[in-house]
Amino acid sequence: MNKSILIRNIVIIVLAAVILGLPFINQAFHIDDTNFLYITKQILKDPLRPYSFNINWRGADERAFDILANPPLCPYYSALAIKLFGQSEPALHGAYLIFAVAAGLFMFFLSRRFTRHALICSLLMLVTPAFMVMSHTIMPDTALLVFYLAGITLFIYGVDKNRPGFLVLSGIFMGLASLCRYSGLTVFFIVIMYIAIQRKKFKAIILIPFFTGGLIFLAWCAHNTIFYGRMHFMAASGFQLVTLTAEDIFCKIEALLSYIGSTSVFFVFLIVGFFTARYKKIFFILAAPCFYLGVIAAMKYHASALQIIFISIFMLSSLHFFFIAIDSIIAQKAKNIKKDYLFLIGWVFFIIIFTGTIYFSAVKHILLLLPAFLILFVVLIERFCARFVKIYLAVALIATFLCGISVSYADFMYADVYRDFAYKNALKYKNSSNTVWFAGHWGFQYYMESLGCKALTYDDNSPKKGDVLIMPVLIAEHQWPCELLQKRLSLLDVYGYGLIFPIRTMNARKNFSFYTNIMLGYNPGFLAYYFSSQNLEQFVVYKIM
């Protein structure tokens, strides 16, 4: 690739990332944005003690160190952004736009190692629903993906080209990945896999990134021990890694397969391009168990018949693609290409298995496998659709973009509900002598507490006569007040927030959720989004008697 084409591709990626992000720059703070903003607030007070505060995040007042399970690299970045630009949604989302740009660029350079369609790989990633939705938050997932991609890309180039400088940078980025989320530590296993599969001759310089990245992570652990008496990693592990049955793990992997089929490449293109005579039979053989699993899910989570179909199709598209990838590895004669296939599919399967062992599954968890999955998709399309590969990839890109922008818009509108209600209605019920209480957390908690409202705990009967309690039904029904307080509630008002647009990203009652496959009181099941005409949320206001 000559220099002018390289520069053109880089400009296209940068412009695409910025254009895709700018319409969502005023998105309301959403889901776990809130707890990262609270860590940021603490950092601005005391930079060395990011977890030295209490938070009511699960219905009780608890130490942040014990229940907020992620390291604070992104909150430190947010603190810098707030110092420079202020704490508005556009300021912070604008600051985080750099991660979308960087992710696109590192995806491009990684893809160049495996395919001649690296630009398509990068653009595909930017428009997937998984990436688009998460890039519009200030959660650390997009930053994690950047450092993850950078670490792997520089490691591969450093090992292949014998460049110690690349390996030093690789180690720094891998260390930073571990400080975004602890799942970032899996990057070390991915690069070990690359060495093992490629059968690289051992050289001392290969150890450089492990030493550099490990030193960064150990420095963070030493900080925790000095300031908190134990490592935050261990506290977070106790929160995230719970005892799971084989059924739990299987259900989480089912959810991940559904998420991959629905939030990566538009699912039709995971099937159509590989629908040869040989693979048609495989498709229909796999269809039966996928439909069976969909029915089992429906029985467990009371899903509708249409949801059974969607769950089955999404899982089927993922499994069909994985079967083709594995079969291609077996059939491939060229050893170098075979090794590349094996590395990419190994990366994907490793993340699926790892994610299946933690507390819950969510679409954000597939971000770490998304680069390998998309590269593998493009590489296989080059093989199976050689005569019209550019047309196929272009149509797949457009379809994936339409899906991604639709889901992103739906999530944008859902996030805005909680900000809109808080700013327009919450203080209507406030006077000089009462307190406005609320149940429910995520973005709603941020906006309510910013207005001086108070979060209710599970066993709290302290609200006095004349106080007001506000409950958003879909995110607070499982945090219903204690029995004594329930007897003192008198209904004041009910507010419904509808949306004509038919896609929704979260409704645990209806078995779909982009952000978690499990909530207290509900099991949202295996769908990341769904079609619905129901209200985005309903707010119920009570007076305390």
147 three-state secondary structure: helix
505 three-state secondary structure: coil
Output the pTM of the full model: 0.92
Q: 298 falls in which pLDDT band (50, 70, 90)? A: low
Write the pLDDT tens digit of every residue in 369-383. Answer: 999 999 999 999 998
Distance CA 175, CA 210 (A): 9
Which is more confidently placed, 78 or 298? Answer: 78
* Amino acid 334: pLDDT: 75
In the predicted structure, residue 278 carries a pLDDT above the cut 90: no
Q: Which residue type is seen at 318?
A: S
Write the pLDDT tens digit of every residue in 165-200. Answer: 999 999 999 999 999 999 999 999 999 999 999 876
Distance CA 162, CA 207 (A): 13
Mean pLDDT of 459-476: 86
In the predicted structure, residue 521 carries a pLDDT above the cut 60: no
Residue 88: enclosing H or E segment and its boundaries?
Answer: none
Mean pLDDT of 278-295: 75
Contacts of 275 (CB under 8 A, 6+ apart): 283
Distance CA 475, CA 519 (A): 9
Distance CA 88, CA 351 (A): 34
Q: Nearest 5°: CA angle at 111, between 110 and 112?
A: 90
Give the range among 231-240, 256-265, 402-411, 474-483 with minimum mean pLDDT.
231-240
Q: Are strands 468-472 and 436-438 parallel, antiparallel or unpaired?
A: parallel
Q: State how far the alpha carbon of 138 is from the alpha carbons of 67, 76, 413, 461, in Å.
A: 19, 12, 17, 34
Distance CA 369, CA 351 (A): 6
Distance CA 405, CA 401 (A): 6
* Amino acid 520: pLDDT: 45
Distance CA 260, CA 315 (A): 8
* Amino acid 518: pLDDT: 67
Q: State how far the alpha carbon of 380 is from the alpha carbons of 340, 470, 525, in Å.
A: 12, 52, 31
Contact 294, 315 (CB under 8 A): yes
Mean pLDDT of 190-212: 87
* Amino acid 441: pLDDT: 81
* Amino acid 374: pLDDT: 96
Structure tokens at 171: 């180690």
Residue 539: phi and psi, rounded to 5, are -105, 130
Mean pLDDT of 252-265: 87
CA 486 to chain centre: 36
Mean pLDDT of 117-144: 96
Write the pLDDT tens digit of every residue in 139-171. Answer: 999 999 999 999 999 999 999 888 989 999 999
SS3 string of 298-361?
HHHHCCCHHHHHHHHHHHHHHHHHHHHHHHHHHHCCCHHHHHHHHHHHHHHHHHHHHHCCCCCC
Q: Are strands 454-455 and 436-438 parallel, antiparallel or unpaired?
A: parallel
* Amino acid 203: pLDDT: 78
| Among candidate residues 147, 151, 212, the one with its CA nearest the CA of residue 181 | 147
Q: Which residue type is seen at 334?
A: A
Strands across the sheet containing 436-438: 454-455, 436-438, 468-472, 537-544, 489-497
Mean pLDDT of 462-466: 87
* Amino acid 225: pLDDT: 93
Mean pLDDT of 350-373: 88
Q: Nearest 5°: CA angle at 138, between 452 and 454?
A: 15
Give the range among 62-76, 147-161, 411-425, 481-495 with minimum mean pLDDT.
481-495
Q: State how far the alpha carbon of 55 is from the alpha carbons of 287, 438, 443, in Å.
A: 46, 14, 14
Distance CA 475, CA 486 (A): 18
276 three-state secondary structure: coil
Distance CA 194, CA 187 (A): 11
Mean pLDDT of 428-436: 88
Q: 243 falls in which pLDDT band (50, 70, 90)? A: low
* Amino acid 333: pLDDT: 77
* Amino acid 45: pLDDT: 95
Contact 429, 470 (CB under 8 A): yes
Question: Would you tell me the crossing angle of helices 305-331 and 246-263 to the nearest 10 degrees?
Answer: 90
Distance CA 376, CA 175 (A): 26
Q: 270 falls in which pLDDT band (50, 70, 90)? A: confident
Beta-bridged to residue 503, according to DSSP, are: 531
Cα(first)–Cα(last) distance of the chain, in Å? 73
